[in-house]
Amino acid sequence: MMPRKARVVEVPAIGQLDRQAGRLSQQLAQALRAAINKGELKAGDLLPSTRRLSAALRLARGTVLEAFAQLTAEGFLAPQPGSGTRVAGSLAPRRVRLSPAKSPSAAAPPLAEQAQRLARFAAQVRPLPPVPFAVSVPIGETAPDDIWRRLGNRIRARGPGAPSGYGDPMGALPLREALCEYVRRSRSVSCTPQQIIITSGTQQGLYLAAQILLDAGDAAWVEDPAYSGITAIFDNVFRDRRMIRVPVADDGIDVAAGAGLAAQARAAFVTPSHQYPLGMPMSMAKRTALLAWARERQAWIVEDDYDSEMRYAGHPFPSLQGLDPDRVVYLGTFSKVLFPSLRLGYAIVPPPLVDAFCGARMLMDRHPPSADQHVLAAFIAEGYLDRHIRKMRGVYAEKRRVLIAAIDAHLDPELAWLQPCDQGMHTVLWLKAGFDDLQVAERANRAGLALRAVSPMYAVGHGKPGLVLGLGGHSDRAVDQAVQKLGQVIRACAAPAP
CATH of residue 474: 3.90.1150.10
**CB within 8 Å of 475: residues ≥ 6 apart:** none
Q: CA-CA distance, 429 to 441, in Å (whole number)?
A: 12
159 & 296 share domain: yes
Q: Are 361 and 418 contained in the same domain?
A: no
Residues 326 and 419 in one domain: no
Residue 134 belongs to some domain of the structure: no
What does the pLDDT read at residue 486?
Answer: 98
CATH number of the domain enclosing 159: 3.40.640.10
In the chain, the number of structural domains is 3
Pair 226, 80 in one domain: no
Q: Are 339 and 413 contained in the same domain? A: no
Residues 73 and 181 in one domain: no
- Backbone φ and ψ of 208, nearest 5°: -60, -40
Q: Please check whether residues 476 and 376 belong to one and the same domain.
A: no
pLDDT recorded at residue 98: 44
Residues 331 and 416 in one domain: no
- Tell me the H-state helices in 214-283: 228-232, 255-262
Closest CA to 79 of 92, 65, 60: 65
User: pLDDT at position 91, please?
Assistant: 64
Is residue 50 in some structural domain?
yes
Q: Are residues 272 and 361 in the same domain?
A: yes
Give the Cα separation of 409 and 364 in Å (integer). 49
Give the H/E segment covering residue 247: strand 242-249
Range of the domain at 459: 394-493
In a domain, 123, yes or no: no
Look at phi and psi of residue 44 and say left if phi exceeds 0, alpha if psi is from -120 to 50, else beta. left
Q: Give the list of residues 6+ apart from residue 467 with CB closer than 8 angstroms, or none.
A: 133, 428, 429, 431, 437, 440, 441, 444, 451, 452, 453, 454, 486
Are 159 and 63 in a shared domain? Answer: no
DSSP E strand stretches across 22-119: 77-80, 84-87
121 in a structural domain: no
- Residues in Cβ contact with 354 at an 8 Å cutoff, skipping those fewer than 6 apart: 170, 194, 195, 197
- Rounded Cα distance between 46 and 212, Å, is 53
Last residue of a domain, one of 87, 110, 130: 87
- Domain assignment present for residue 2? The answer is no
Same domain for 155 and 254: yes
CA–CA distance, 416 with 490 (Å, rounded to integer)? 8
The answer to whether residues 268 and 290 touch, using CB atoms and an 8 Å cutoff, is yes
Q: For residue 4, is it within any domain?
A: no
Last residue of a domain, one of 358, 382, 406: 382
The structure's pTM equals 0.80
Would you give per-residue pLDDT tens digits along the chain (498 residues)? 444 444 566 666 666 677 777 788 898 989 888 888 888 888 888 888 888 888 888 889 999 999 999 999 888 999 888 788 999 877 655 554 444 544 555 567 888 988 888 888 888 888 888 899 998 666 666 677 788 888 888 887 776 665 667 778 899 999 999 999 999 999 999 999 999 999 999 999 999 999 999 999 999 999 999 999 999 999 999 999 999 999 999 999 999 999 999 999 999 999 999 999 999 999 999 999 999 999 999 999 999 998 888 888 766 678 999 999 999 999 999 988 888 888 899 999 999 999 999 999 999 888 787 888 999 999 999 999 999 988 888 888 999 999 999 999 999 999 999 999 888 889 999 999 999 999 999 999 999 999 999 999 999 999 999 999 998 778 899 999 999 999 999 999 987 655
Tell me whether residue 474 is in a domain: yes
Residue 227 in domain: yes
Same-domain pairing of 226 and 295:
yes
Cα–Cα separations (whole angstroms), residue 371 to 151, 163, 167, 383: 11, 6, 10, 19
